Structure 1
Amino acid sequence: MNKFGIEGGYFSLNGKKVFLNSGEIHYFRIKRELWEEHLKKAKEAGLKTISSYVPWVWHEVNEGEFDFSGTTQPERDLIGWIELCQKHGFTCIVKPGPFILAEYRGAGLPDWFLEKYGDTIKMHNSKGEAVLSDGVSLFNPVFLSKVEQWYNHVMPIISQKQVQNGGPIIMMQVCNEIGVFSWLAHQADYNEQVKEQFISFIKTRYSTIDELNTLWESNYTSFQEIELPPDGNTPYKSKGDRSRDYEWHCFWRKYYANYLRLLSSWIRKHNISIPLYHNLPGWIYGHGYEFPLNITMYEDLYEDKSELIFGVDHIPEFVSYRNLHDDRIINDIVSAMQGEKPLFAAEFQSGSREYHVVTNPREMELFYKASIANGLKGWNYYMFSQGKNPPAKGYSGDTFYWFTPLDNQAKPSSAFPVVQKMSRFIETHEELILTTKRKAEVCVLFYSPYYATELERPEVGASELKFVPARIRRSAYFDGLLKALQVLNVDYDMVDLASSSVNDLLAYKQVWLFSTDEMNAPDQQTIASFVTNGGNLVIFPYLPDREMNQKPCTVLRDTFKIKSSQPEIIDSPLIKLYNLTDIKCSNPLIAYTTEGIDGATPIAFTLRGSICGFEKNVGKGKVVHLGTWLGFDTEGHLQAYTTILERSKAQLANASSTNNFITVRQKFNDTSESLLFVGNYYNENQSGKITYKHPKTNERVQLPLIDGEIEIPPLYAFISPISKEIGKGINILHTTSDVIGINSNNNIITIHLTGDPGLIGEMVLEGINISKIKSAEISEKPIMLIWHNNRIVLNYLHSNKEIVLTLKMLDK
């Protein structure tokens, strides 16, 4: 019996760790007679898995009339599609909704259902009006009844065809992006079931109505009198108003979780045992800064609270220096929140859903390699095959996706060779990709309440906040601190503050915390205990003075013995920080008196000479506080971040570059091997010297090894195995080529390579048996063996085609 599962943060097939290399092909958008041709091309591209939605609207043609065998239309033959995938050696991922979205009109819900029940099941606003959206009230009994009937028909097929029963289906998506409707419309659902559930939720949060009234500044006599917060753009009226809104956001996190738990329980009743996942959106026209908001919607399902894993939508649309940091941050946040579950890109861009957004295969290849460096354990090319919508079903007309590796007739595009290349790269280095991890001595904390804002209303001062997280989190945190760390090539880990322990944080030599006025007491206590027990903390731009529900809380201020602070507004503010002058910052600046910081050492001053930052020993540890935020707008900001980082004595990077426009990253496994990513996100050549750590000896190794600098072409990256054995006693130390195949036989080692023609090829070999290498050839032409400190250096030219390096050994 075959088995597919999740073990220790990896996907596993029959007990072996695997990288999930999948492509999305929609059988319902491709003519039946072309199915086989698409699958043949997918096999040629090196894919192992095929993913598809299973649209409810497509298979329940009329109410109560189901077609899974193609009786009414050949393209409805779901059973035939699954069996054809298996015939061609593929495993399958199925996504039976009920919501599929996928630019399908009605988001996958049947037309007859929406026509008959639409007014009843739609989301409604606070005025009782149906919202113009594909979203529905998820716990509406009519909706749930019809979903359960849909599941009762489709799940037996999936159960029969799952891998444990001899079929190809290895994984299933549970619904799709359910929080997206409220997020995009900035609109909650105000149906009666929602109000009832909200009141029940609040009863679990407050022991008495008086306790609630104190925080909400209300005068309810019972919980049943509770009113829902207003929707739209009504500004907050008071702290109490904001307190209620915080609970409103917390409720939705429980609401979505309960909905997905319900669907999961229905699935499991059909004896389906394959892994389940839910998909998360977040990229907005090339940027991922809103993704953290989307994952916080599901925080009630994090870690061991649910069996679900989260699939990430990685749809950057373009790749450049402007967004070089986004995918890493998204991956890091997902890993921090979901715990020991594999990082999977469920929608991994290989085409464009909008015709005016023309994807570039070169940019996509850079993105794919960066995603490996940033920890993905699997991906699903979305879309691998273009589709044609059934009449009047496509949100964008008759065509679904453009610039895909295959068009709807199964003809390859310029994106096809990139998928082929990445498949061969994964196959060659699968274990190394899966087992290597980042080594970091610096940690950045993620605090999910700062992103619980999909329904947040305007803050005009009534809540008396110095810093509103939603206003500054992108500039101060996402595109500020985190981008600067990326540009500086700092190795850091992302940790979820709310689920971390003091011991977790003490493993790092420096911890950074973006903090505003609000932070819950347990989380303040974790940070306070971390510092007093020897931790090194950098916190900006504020020391919180209340919890998220607006209850006063000064745990951190009390621990650090900070007595008072005042905001200071300065036009075009600049600060002096340590020995740096005229560092751009932002208003308000939080000013302290000497007495107010109780013996701390001032480290930052405003243009008026006020103290706006200090360094202080607290217990066994130290806190560095900056009462403003810097962002990342100038080279002075890089100097400022570097100055603070270097005071930690932490090792900031395992791999580094003499040029900040060259991004480098190194990951290690437990068997003295590593992977080195070297990339240029800039749109012109960049030159520099790369230094990395030898995974066995800790030697600092340079690339190029001997002299000079490496010149990286625009929008290009390579991933080199470090200290990878290719023959007995012969290792690749590093290479500037992508190694996509290794064969060793009869004293001959052949290595299949690709690389950009603008990048000089260098491969360095080491090991106890390299003296047995007699000669080397590139595509049957001899190249020189250059000996350097008991290593062999091979230099060669890349071309637009694959090249083959042949090493011939001395006869035994």
Structure 2
Amino acid sequence: MLIELRDGVLHTDGAPGLLATADYPYYRDDPSVWRERLRTLRDATGIRVVTSYFPWRHHQPEADLPPDFTGATRPDRDLLGYLRICAELGLGVIAKPGPFIHAETNYGGLPDWICPLTNAQVEPSLDADGRPVLWNGSRHDPDGGIERWPLPSPVGAHFGARVGEWLRAVGKEVLSATTTPEGPVVLVQIANEGLFTDGALPLWAYDYSEPGLTFFRAGLHRRYGSLDAYNAVHGTAHREWSAVEPPRERGVPADARAELALADWGRYHSDLLAEAYHGWTEALGPAVPVLVNLNPPAGEAHAFDAWLSRVRPERWNGIHYGFTNWMGVVSSDRTAHARYVLAAKRAPGPNLEENWGFSELYDRAYAAGATSFHQSLLALAVGATGINVYTGVATSGWGDDLDLMHSAPYPDCPPVDAQGRPTDKAATVRMLSDFFAVHGAEYLAALPATQASWGLYAPYAAIAAWLPDVVADDPSGTGCGRPLRALHERLRDAGQDYRVVDLESATPEQLAGHPRIVLHGGRFMHRAVQQLLAAHIMAGHTVELSGPVPLLDEELTPCALLADALAQQARQECTLASPVRVTAGSADAYWRSAGPDSGYLTVLVQSDNEGPVAVELDLGSRSARVTLTVAAGGAALLRILAGTLDDFLLTGLNAYLASAVTPSVGFALTTDTDTAVDAADTAAVADVAARTVRAEGPADLARIGGILRTLTP
């Protein structure tokens, strides 16, 4: 069996499919229940791939002893036995060996003996003020809280050597015998949400350690070629690379040279990710594709910029993009919605952690399956290639050596409870997994309807990330993340969608698929990027640039290629009409075209919605009106086939919002002269009623493969 990831889509022996997974933390359960829990997860949810972290601290608690993967020292360390059970149950596995995993474990899953507090050879990661970057350790402090321990520098020599030993052991002793086709492991995830769950942190949060700065200056050497060339561009007179200092304080850069220095530091952050990803993957040596799980941007005003300058999947050369979601309820929080959508749009890849189980730890809204159902469909609608249930099973068998912060069960409200019984959420997950088992390949091949593309020039993000909040919204300065967020809000309010395209890596052929590019400018821009955008304009496409027009290239020499092209651009705004419009109710709607009069309509109902939702849909040669009754905070996914309603998913219940409705969907074609159903026209009303599918009472409703299902609590 050949496993590949192509443009973020899982291919098995050449056949594409949507990646539907659920996490099971075997290390938190007694081995005696592993088989039963996995079987219940499989049978109750339809999930056929599980994701599992391999905690370093769990399998190698002592530095001078080799890792235990067979249960020789303790039964719950029998990782090979766990993977054997997965294989026997026909479950694929995404192996996640860290080295840092978070997962609510002590010290993020790192062993105590790799901490700088206990191992003087390990250099701590430092922030801009020279303070160690901290994480929850594995001891209580005098006040009963958890001690905060320094994290290692990811490029420190001793830490890197011990990480290499751990990953080589996983590769040799675990993956070599369990990777497909002989075993269940189909993919590998490296690291966690950046390196140490730090993908969303500010650019001044890390890593200013000596190993980090050595790596930073080595990157400058590669970038500029020589110290003389660096000095010429930056207006400095350094005699040694060690004299080059990184930025440490937020402020408004005085000139283009000061901006370029900030861009250098942003590139360093993206280099840190790439260096660790490739080094750790090389040590692991897997025979299957490797992906990562970036967390979305944080909520602060500067966070979009910090994230965009750090997260550069186009530079990872074979490491595949994935993302998580732990930042709020998107059906009621506009900021959470924007952050989540950007993570799903940044590059093709699967959602690798969607919260389906934690209400006490995060937000009570997650007690209802409708919350996670809504978010999973949103991720897919805007670009994700897979969904995940985190975690699929509640566990209760761990000790303080693994996690002394949380009490059982972990988590509190997943699809399978701590007694191994399916909950209401299991049926909701089953709707999703069964629907995409039938239609996943077609869904992913369908083309999303978008009206604009944000032209990402990462150096602008690296500059804007340092601007004080009081001046960051000044439209006359360099910008990226904030104007992108503003574009997101404008288009969402207008019922429109967008994409993100990386301008430093795009080819002219790729850019041609983005007829309307929107971006914010700055003082300089790479000459090659200016040439690319200028040619795009000359080819008849539109570039909408706000803010300053760049008049310098990346070496800060005069370059007006883009300015000249913009001056010649036709003075008319490129407008691309949306094929889908919400005409009643509080909801977002997304359309993916799968052919003539065919495609997938996703309707995401907001938490404040009351009453039916109406959507007008342009199918090309025909138009249609869709009328939905869906629970507040719920969602609907409809397959339209040749102008008729085919399979669908509808949410009728959201216990958290006390919303229980009888779900229904009405679908009616309209004509050019009759673009909406006329309530006074009894024939039209009767026609719509005839084409309405309705449950018999409050429930979730699905039709999959033409078979109607009603899911009641």
Moved more, 319-328 or 361-370: 319-328
> Residue 602 of structure 2 contacts residue 636 of structure 2 at CA under 8 Å; is this kept in 1?
yes
Match of 2:393 among 385, 389, 397: 385
Q: Aligned residue for 1:770? A: none
Amino acid of the structure 2 residue aligned with 1:273: A
Q: Deviations over 1:33-73 (max 9, x none)?
A: 22223212211111111111101111113123221121222
- Alpha-carbon shift at residue 416 of structure 1 (Å): 3.0
> Residue 517 of structure 1 contacts residue 542 of structure 1 at CA under 8 Å; is this kept in 2?
yes
Structure 1 or 2: more strand by fraction: 1
- Alpha-carbon shift at residue 711 of structure 1 (Å): 5.1
Match of 2:296 among 282, 292, 300: 282
Moved more, 287-296 or 191-200: 287-296
* Distance of 1:244 and 1:803 partners within structure 2: 56
Q: Aligned residue for 2:484? A: 477
Q: Deviations over 1:614-647 (max 9, x none)?
A: xxxx1xx3256xxxxxxxxxxxxxxxxxxxxxx5
CA separation of 1:407 and 1:348: change in aligned 2, threshold 3 A? same
* Distance of 2:551 and 2:326 partners within structure 1: 38
CA separation of 1:356 and 1:658: change in aligned 2, threshold 3 A? closer
* Distance of 1:415 and 1:109 partners within structure 2: 32
Q: Aligned residue for 2:655? A: none
Supply the RMSD in Å over aligned alpha carbons. 3.8
| SS of 1:531 mapped into structure 2 | helix
Amino acid of the structure 2 residue aligned with 1:32: P
Match of 2:381 among 370, 373, 377: 373
CA separation of 1:7 and 1:113: change in aligned 2, threshold 3 A? closer
Amino acid of the structure 2 residue aligned with 1:662: A
Amino acid of the structure 2 residue aligned with 1:213: N
Q: Aligned residue for 2:38? A: 39
> Residue 295 of structure 1 contacts residue 334 of structure 1 at CA under 8 Å; is this kept in 2?
no
* Distance of 2:174 and 2:490 partners within structure 1: 46
Q: Aligned residue for 2:322? A: 311
Q: Aligned residue for 1:521? A: 527
Match of 2:580 among 655, 659, 669: 655
- Alpha-carbon shift at residue 540 of structure 1 (Å): 1.6
Q: Aligned residue for 1:432? A: 442
- Alpha-carbon shift at residue 179 of structure 1 (Å): 6.3
Instruction: Count the aligned residue pairs.
Output: 662
Segments of structure 2 that go 5 or more residues without pairing to the other structure are 136-149, 653-658, 671-682, 708-713
CA separation of 1:363 and 1:536: change in aligned 2, threshold 3 A? same
Moved more, 542-551 or 414-423: 542-551
Amino acid of the structure 2 residue aligned with 1:218: T
Match of 1:733 among 615, 620, 645: 645
* Distance of 2:328 and 2:314 partners within structure 1: 28
Match of 1:216 among 225, 234, 247: 234
CA separation of 1:687 and 1:127: change in aligned 2, threshold 3 A? closer
* Distance of 1:273 and 1:554 partners within structure 2: 47
> Residue 298 of structure 2 contacts residue 339 of structure 2 at CA under 8 Å; is this kept in 1?
no
- Alpha-carbon shift at residue 757 of structure 1 (Å): 3.1
Match of 1:259 among 257, 261, 276: 276
> Residue 333 of structure 1 contacts residue 446 of structure 1 at CA under 8 Å; is this kept in 2?
no
> Residue 291 of structure 1 contacts residue 330 of structure 1 at CA under 8 Å; is this kept in 2?
no
* Distance of 1:380 and 1:402 partners within structure 2: 17
- Alpha-carbon shift at residue 82 of structure 1 (Å): 0.7
Task: Pick the structure with greater CA Rg.
Answer: 1
Specify which structure has the bigger relative contact order, considering alpha-carbon pairs within 8 angstroms and separated by 6 or more residues: 2
Q: Aligned residue for 2:222? A: 204
CA separation of 1:236 and 1:79: change in aligned 2, threshold 3 A? same
- Alpha-carbon shift at residue 273 of structure 1 (Å): 1.1
Q: Aligned residue for 1:403? A: 413
TM-score by length of 2: 0.82
Q: Aligned residue for 2:144? A: none
> Residue 320 of structure 1 contacts residue 681 of structure 1 at CA under 8 Å; is this kept in 2?
yes
Q: Does 2:24 align with 1:25?
A: yes
CA separation of 1:219 and 1:716: change in aligned 2, threshold 3 A? same
Q: Aligned residue for 2:623? A: 700
> Residue 444 of structure 1 contacts residue 495 of structure 1 at CA under 8 Å; is this kept in 2?
yes
| SS of 1:490 mapped into structure 2 | coil
Q: Deviations over 1:547-600 (max 9, x none)?
A: 577666544334445xxxxxxxxxxxxxxxxxxxxxxxxxxxxxxxxxxxxxxx
TM-score by length of 1: 0.73
> Residue 761 of structure 1 contacts residue 798 of structure 1 at CA under 8 Å; is this kept in 2?
no
Amino acid of the structure 2 residue aligned with 1:720: L
| SS of 1:701 mapped into structure 2 | strand
Q: Deviations over 1:671-726 (max 9, x none)?
A: 863111123214122555422233xx62122225xxxxx555422221111117xx
- Alpha-carbon shift at residue 196 of structure 1 (Å): 3.1
- Alpha-carbon shift at residue 496 of structure 1 (Å): 1.9
| SS of 1:690 mapped into structure 2 | strand
> Residue 384 of structure 1 contacts residue 404 of structure 1 at CA under 8 Å; is this kept in 2?
yes
* Distance of 2:470 and 2:587 partners within structure 1: 42
| SS of 1:279 mapped into structure 2 | coil
CA separation of 1:345 and 1:794: change in aligned 2, threshold 3 A? closer
> Residue 346 of structure 1 contacts residue 380 of structure 1 at CA under 8 Å; is this kept in 2?
yes
> Residue 394 of structure 2 contacts residue 416 of structure 2 at CA under 8 Å; is this kept in 1?
yes
Segments of structure 1 that go 5 or more residues without pairing to the other structure are 336-342, 562-617, 625-646, 705-709, 725-730, 741-754, 767-783
CA separation of 1:163 and 1:152: change in aligned 2, threshold 3 A? closer
Amino acid of the structure 2 residue aligned with 1:496: D
Amino acid of the structure 1 residue aligned with 2:381: A
- Alpha-carbon shift at residue 215 of structure 1 (Å): 3.7
Amino acid of the structure 1 residue aligned with 2:220: I
- Alpha-carbon shift at residue 91 of structure 1 (Å): 0.7
* Distance of 1:455 and 1:196 partners within structure 2: 23
Q: Aligned residue for 2:125? A: 123
* Distance of 2:662 and 2:301 partners within structure 1: 30
Moved more, 517-526 or 146-155: 517-526
- Alpha-carbon shift at residue 345 of structure 1 (Å): 0.8
* Distance of 2:271 and 2:522 partners within structure 1: 24
> Residue 734 of structure 1 contacts residue 763 of structure 1 at CA under 8 Å; is this kept in 2?
no
* Distance of 2:376 and 2:181 partners within structure 1: 33
> Residue 425 of structure 1 contacts residue 738 of structure 1 at CA under 8 Å; is this kept in 2?
no
- Alpha-carbon shift at residue 489 of structure 1 (Å): 2.1
* Distance of 2:693 and 2:278 partners within structure 1: 57
Give the percent of matched residue pairs that are identical in Structure 1 and Structure 2: 19
> Residue 233 of structure 1 contacts residue 457 of structure 1 at CA under 8 Å; is this kept in 2?
yes
Q: Does 2:585 align with 1:557?
A: no
CA separation of 1:395 and 1:292: change in aligned 2, threshold 3 A? farther
For residues 511-550 of structure 1, the aligned pairs below 5 Å read 511-546=517-552
Q: Does 2:638 align with 1:622?
A: no
| SS of 1:512 mapped into structure 2 | strand
For residues 130-279 of structure 1, the aligned pairs below 5 Å read 130-133=132-135, 134-176=150-192, 177-178=194-195, 180-181=197-198, 184=201, 186-220=204-238, 222-231=239-248, 240-268=257-285, 272-279=286-293
Q: Does 2:73 align with 1:72?
A: yes
> Residue 215 of structure 1 contacts residue 240 of structure 1 at CA under 8 Å; is this kept in 2?
yes
Q: Does 2:601 align with 1:676?
A: yes
> Residue 189 of structure 2 contacts residue 293 of structure 2 at CA under 8 Å; is this kept in 1?
yes
* Distance of 1:84 and 1:157 partners within structure 2: 17
> Residue 478 of structure 2 contacts residue 520 of structure 2 at CA under 8 Å; is this kept in 1?
no
Q: Aligned residue for 1:97? A: 98
